[in-house]
Amino acid sequence: MRKPIIAGNWKMNKTPAEAKELIEALKPLVADAQAEVVVCPTFVCLSAAKEAIAGSNIHLGAQNLHFEPKGAYTGEVSAEMLTSIGVEYVIIGHSERRQYFAETDETVNKKVKAALAAGLKPIICVGESLEQREKGITKEIVSLQSKLALEGLTKEQVAGVVIAYEPIWAIGTGKTATSDEANETIGDIRAAVREVYGEAADEMRIQYGGSMNPKNASELMAKSEIDGGLIGGASLKAEDFSQVVKY
Catalytic residue annotation: 94, 166
- Find the binding residues for ligand 3PY in span 224-243 (CB under 6 A): 230-232
Residue 211 binding ligand 3PY, by CB under 6 A = yes
Nearest CA-CA partner of 91 in 210, 188, 11, 2:
11
Do the Cβ atoms of 125 and 156 come closer than 8 Å? no
CB of 199 to ligand 3PY, least distance (A): 28
CB of 38 to ligand 3PY, least distance (A): 12
Which member of 4, 5, 9, 42 binds ligand 3PY (CB under 6 A)? 9
- Find the binding residues for ligand 3PY in span 11-50 (CB under 6 A): none
What gap in Å lies between CA 90 and CA 77, rounded to an integer? 12
Q: What is the DSSP string of 10-35?
A: --S---HHHHHHHHHHHHHHHTT-SS
Count the Cβ atoms, other than its own, within 10 Å of residue 31.
Answer: 12
Window contacting ligand 3PY (CB under 6 A); options: 12-20, 59-67, 134-142, 206-214:
206-214
Q: Hey, CA dihedral for 73, 75, 77, 81, is it positive or negative?
A: positive
Window contacting ligand 3PY (CB under 6 A); options: 13-21, 44-52, 59-67, 207-215:
207-215
Do the Cβ atoms of 45 and 15 come closer than 8 Å? yes
Which member of 128, 166, 188, 225 binds ligand 3PY (CB under 6 A)? 166
Task: Summarize the annotated binding site as residue ranges.
Answer: 9-11, 172, 211, 232-233
Contact footprint for ligand 3PY (CB under 6 A): 9, 94, 166, 171-172, 209-212, 230-232
